[in-house]
Structure formats: C-alpha cells, structure tokens
C-alpha cells in the first residue's frame, strides 16, 4: 500500500479512537440512521470541510459540495440531495457556505478559458453580471471578496426559489436558509445576514401558488 494511502487508514483509526473517547455511543447511533439538523451547500475546495470547521460530529450535517457552492436548478445531483434533505430528513437549516479565495469565483471575474469548467463558471459569471456596477470600481481584493459574498447571497436566493422548499414553508417555519463565508486565512465563519425562511423573502415572480 502506498504511504499516501496508508496515511488515510492511519488517520481513520485515529478518528475512530477519538470519537469513541469523546462520544462512546456515536457509531452505534449512526448505524441506526441519521437525523441531521443542517444541509450544507459548500465549495469543493479542500480547505473548506464542513464538519471540521464547525466542530460537529458525524451525523450532524448533510453535505453537498461543488465548485463555488452554486445552486443550479437543473443540477440533478444538487436537487436530489436538497430534496432528500428537505422533504425526508426535514433539516431545519440550509447553510450556503462560500469562502474567500474561491477559485471558481476568481475564474468568473477573469476572462480566461478553463476548458470543460467554463460552462459551470458561467453560472457564477451571471452573478458578476448582476453586480458588475458595484464591483468594477473597487480594488482587486475588495472586488474578489465582495464577489464571493454576492455569490453566496444569490445562491441563497436560488435555494429559496425551489418549489419543495416553499412547500415545506407552507407547513411551518423550516427550513431556514443562511448565507455564510469562510475565511481560509483565519478559519472563521462570517454571517452575511441574508437568512430566508418564508416566501416573503423571495421575489414574487419566483413564489409558487399555494
């Protein structure tokens, strides 16, 4: 076995030992099922692991990750994850988490071609198009960071436009949809204060009839 793979198994054993020490009944409980409180829509970036950066044990967060934490209604993978989390697991919170230094966002505000990924990056370019007048007069660092934040806010809006999310709101207050940004330089989360938990927070043209 290559050393690089061996390290994964050694890390797994260390993880098992730590969990057994801190949460003796955890694995027995997880073996019976899951009831996570959160759905996490995050970036695929290796520096932004949902459970580690929130210090939560296994079973707490249902996770979907893609490049630049984009919510696309034609993405069967994301929509399947969201549908299961919202309608079956009945998560109370959906967290859209972006991060400063995101390569997908950097690609969107550049004019470079990156091959196959260009089609995906176009979804982020649409966010840039919506906010270009606010961004183009700023310095590069501010522009990059604000674009990361705008992208998260737009994906929160996209999540709120999903029919089965709105169906759950008709039955109660959940799920809450939150937008946050992770700073890879200091390890801290920033709340963007764009939480939505009812059709009142959705543009009327995207609200489905009762």
Q: What does the pLDDT average to over 93-108?
A: 98
Q: Give the pTM.
A: 0.95
Burial class (CB in 10 A: 0-12, 13-18, 19+), 65: middle
Q: What does the pLDDT average to over 31-35?
A: 97
Cis peptide before 3 (omega within 30 of 0): no
| pLDDT in the model for residue 1 | 86
pLDDT tens for residues 145-172? 999 999 999 999 999 999 999 999 999 9
Say yes or no to pLDDT of 123 above 90: yes
Which residues face 64 on adjacent strands? Answer: 41
| pLDDT in the model for residue 173 | 86
Confidence of residue 50 (pLDDT cuts 50, 70, 90): very high
Q: Where are the domains of the chain?
A: 1-33, 36-206
The token pair that represents 178 in the structure block: 């939150």
Q: What topology is assigned to 36-206 in CATH?
A: Beta-carbonic Anhydrase; Chain A (3.40.1050)
* Residues involved in catalysis: 43, 45, 47, 99, 102
189 or 209: which leads in pLDDT: 189
Strands (DSSP E) found in the chain: 38-43, 61-66, 93-99, 176-183, 188-191
């Amino acid at each position: 076995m290559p050393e690089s793979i061996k390290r994964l198994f050694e890390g797994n054993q260390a993880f098992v030992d730590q969990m057994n020490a801190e949460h003796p009944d955890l694995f027995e409980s997880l073996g019976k099922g899951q009831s996570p409180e959160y759905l996490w829509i995050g970036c695929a970036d290796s520096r932004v692991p949902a459970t580690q950066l929130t210090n939560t044990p296994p079973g707490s967060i249902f996770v979907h990750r893609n490049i630049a934490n984009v919510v696309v209604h034609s993405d069967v993978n994301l929509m399947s994850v969201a549908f299961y989390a919202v309608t079956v697991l009945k998560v109370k919170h959906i967290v859209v988490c972006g991060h400063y230094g995101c390569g997908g966002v950097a690609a969107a505000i550049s004019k470079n071609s990156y091959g196959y990924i260009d089609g995906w990056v176009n979804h982020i370019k649409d966010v840039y198009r919506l906010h270009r007048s606010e961004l183009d007069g700023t310095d590069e660092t501010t522009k990059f960071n604000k674009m990361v934040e705008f992208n998260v806010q737009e994906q929160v809006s996209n999540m709120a436009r999903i029919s089965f999310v709105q169906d759950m709101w008709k039955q109660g207050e959940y799920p809450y949809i939150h937008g946050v940004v992770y700073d890879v330089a200091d390890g801290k989360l920033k709340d963007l204060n764009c939480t939505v938990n009812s059709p009142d927070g959705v543009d009327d043209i995207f609200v489905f009839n009762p």
